[in-house]
Structures are given as C-alpha cells and as structure tokens.
Chain A
C-alpha cells in the first residue's frame, strides 16, 4: 500500500485505465495543460496528448452531450464537471439520452461514459456546494458512486471507466486535502459494494462521501460515552448494497442515515424505506442539511451541514 493524496489516487486510476483501453478519453474544463481544478489530471495531458485529454468550454450541457455521443459511437469518455451543481446544465443529455439509450435502442446502443463531479460545502456558497446525488439515484439507467477515501476513489473510478452504462462518480471538496492508502498493484472495487468502516453493536450509522468521515468522528464521540456505533460507508448510491446494510441493521436494530444534502427525498429516505422492508423492527432516523440553501457564510454553512456532534446527538435520540 502507498499513501497518496486523493487527487493522486484519481490520476493513477485514470492513467491506468487510459493505458489499458485506448477508448478512454478525458474531457472537461482546465483538465489539459492546467492539470484539473483539483490538480487531479496533472501529467495526463503530457502523457496521453491532446486527442485524449481535451479541454472543453464552460458549457456543461455541451460537455455531457459530447460525451454521451462519443460513448454511443464507441469511446469511453470521462467528462469532468467541476462542481456537481453545474451538472444541472448537463442533465438533459445525461438523463434523457445517455441513461435511456440502452432501453430506447433495445440494447443496440449503450453509453459507457463517466461523469465525474465534485460535490459538497466548503465555502463556495449556494450554487457551487450542493449535494444533489439523490436526484441522480432517481434515474433508471444511471449508476451513482460516491467514495470517501483515496483508495475507494481509485478502485471505483477504475470500475466506472469499465462499466457498460453511464456512471456519475461524485467526490467531495473536503476529501481532497486528505491522504489515503491505495494498493500498489492494480485493483478495482466492485460497483454496488458498501464498506463496513467500524464495528459496533448499538446502532448503524450509514453515510457516503465526506459524511462517512463525519460519521466516524461521531462514532468516536459516541464510544467515549459507551455507545458503540457501526459505520457503513455506502460508496455506491446506485446500485445499493442492501445485503451489507441489512446485515448491519439486523445486528444493531437501529439505523441512522446521515447525508450532507437535503433530507426530503434524500438518500436516507430511500434507504430507511428499503431497510424497513428488509429488517423487522428496525428503528430509523435521518440527519441531513437543514432546509436552506448552502450558505456563503462559513457560520451558516457549518450550522446547516451535519457535523460530528449533531450526528452523535441524533444517534443518542434514536437510541432513546
């Protein structure tokens, strides 16, 4: 295992997949000579050249549309959307074209493309910091991934670039300053597999992306007062690893769903319903952002988004 910055894990995944498959191309704003908004494509333009690492204009609908067309025509494009918020501009080609292509063509055409976007609040305000991944989970035909560690980002991005249909890979601004261990040999992580991050017997905390980091901090707070929380990191929002989740919930009998986005029609709402169908007597609670846009004020941003003390408090409430 090597310790890498989050961006380095991504760069390695892309470089390996581009070397393995000449159909993989990258397209996005500032990804060529500049090396990417998060320095995650540094070195790839120099190595793979301008035909495979392409800058695009500030026009997300065009970027996603081009990627969908290129995918249908036989390439495997990875389209970068700097902030997940801006994917709103590219939803029509993603949802109405790419995600439905296999269904509309009776399997004659597919769109093996990846949209990589960065979500999350870190001082960017109401239109550059949202977590809208449940919107995407709602779309038949889309795979939605959201890792929380450098190692998972590496393994999942590789799987995404080999997948048969459109994948939205979502990371988080607060994950980039963190280092993480990545296997030295080439490995992938299967899509649809959650990870058990911490064992516990009193409740299960389910989270994804940066909230998995927060959930682990909350579990440490709870442990200090004798509450043992199991933490499950979803990694894949669609498909959902019901087996891992249900197994954990059967052990603990209590599930707290934590997300950075809105609770209404959120990840937790879907998971709570699905797990109540699968686990008899399961008690559930959810914690998401307060019902307001992400604020440009650091004070209000922190007030809106769940943090470890609020997660721990929600866990104590759930356990009664």
Chain B
C-alpha cells in the first residue's frame, strides 16, 4: 500500500510553513517511531515521527521549501518496489504520524 503524508490543516493559524529538513532520503526505510521530517510554523518547530513503518518513496518538497497546510509532502510504501502512480495522483490512505512541537 502507498500512503501519503499531508501537512496537517490543524496548525492553529498557520498559513504557510517551512520545511526545515527531511530526516530520511528517498528510498530509505522509515521505521515506526523514527523521525520523518521537521518543519517550522510562524510560532513553533514541529518534528514529525512515523507511527507506522514504510519506505519513503517520494519527497514533494525540498529542505527550505515553503508548504501550505493540506499539501501532500511525501509518499511512503510498504514495499520498496511497489509501483507508484503518477505524481498528481490523489491517494486515499494517510500515514499515521505523531507531531511534537517545540
């Protein structure tokens, strides 16, 4: 299964956020409880940790890019060689994650 990670819309008043860094490269395994990426709002730094394992297949933004709540930031798959749909495909399944804001 291929799952998406979406920048959450429940970020208070945030209109834009900045991607600070990916913690994993494309093609790399992300285990449950491993950090996926870190982004910054106008008030806080948010660390996103995966709650379920997956292979990071596609990163839609680069370090330093600006994103909006609701943007799909990444796709992850159960298997490293699962075929990916076209880049503009809309996926239904969402990766389970936790957010830690500091």
Give A307 Cβ to nearest chain B Cβ, in Å: 16
Are B42 and A6 in contact, CB atoms less than 8 angstroms apart?
A: yes
Q: Which one of B13, B15, B42, B66 lies within 8 Å of A7 (CB-CB)?
A: B42
Are B66 and A177 in contact, CB atoms less than 8 angstroms apart?
A: no
- Measured between beta carbons, the chain B residues less than 8 angstroms from A179 are 16, 18, 66
Q: Which one of A3, A122, A176 lies within 8 Å of B42 (CB-CB)?
A: A176
Q: Which one of A39, A174, A177 lies within 8 Å of B16 (CB-CB)?
A: A177
- Sort chain B's interface into a size bin: 10 to 19
Cβ of B9 under 8 Å from chain A: no
Q: How far is the CA of A39 from the CA of B14 in the complex (A)?
A: 14
Most chain B CB inside 10 Å of its own CB: which residue of A3, A39, A177: A177
Query: Helix, strand, loop or mixed for chain B's interface?
Result: loop
Interface residues of A in 130-185 (CB under 8 A from B): 174, 176-179
A3-B66, A5-B42, A39-B43 given; A177·B18 CB < 8 A = no
- Measured between beta carbons, the chain A residues less than 8 angstroms from B42 are 5-7, 38-39, 176-178
Q: How far is the CA of A178 from the CA of B13 in the complex (A)?
A: 10
Give A37 Cβ to nearest chain B Cβ, in Å: 10
Q: How far is the CA of A176 from the CA of B40 in the complex (A)?
A: 13
- Chain A 278-319 per-residue mask, 1 if CB under 8 angstroms from chain B, else 0: 000000000000000000000000000000000000000000
Give B100 Cβ to nearest chain A Cβ, in Å: 17
Q: How far is the CA of A3 from the CA of B43 in the complex (A)?
A: 16
Are A5 and B14 in contact, CB atoms less than 8 angstroms apart?
A: no
A179, closest chain B residue (CB): B16
- Measured between beta carbons, the chain B residues less than 8 angstroms from A174 are 13
Interface residues of A in 84-120 (CB under 8 A from B): none
A174, closest chain B residue (CB): B13
A3, closest chain B residue (CB): B66
5 CB-based A-B contacts, threshold 8 Å: A5-B18, A6-B42, A122-B13, A176-B43, A177-B13
Chain B residues near A (Cβ < 8 Å): 13-16, 18, 40-43, 66
- A-B pairs, top 10 by smallest CB distance, nearest first, are A177-B15, A177-B42, A179-B16, A177-B13, A5-B42, A176-B42, A177-B14, A178-B15, A39-B43, A179-B66
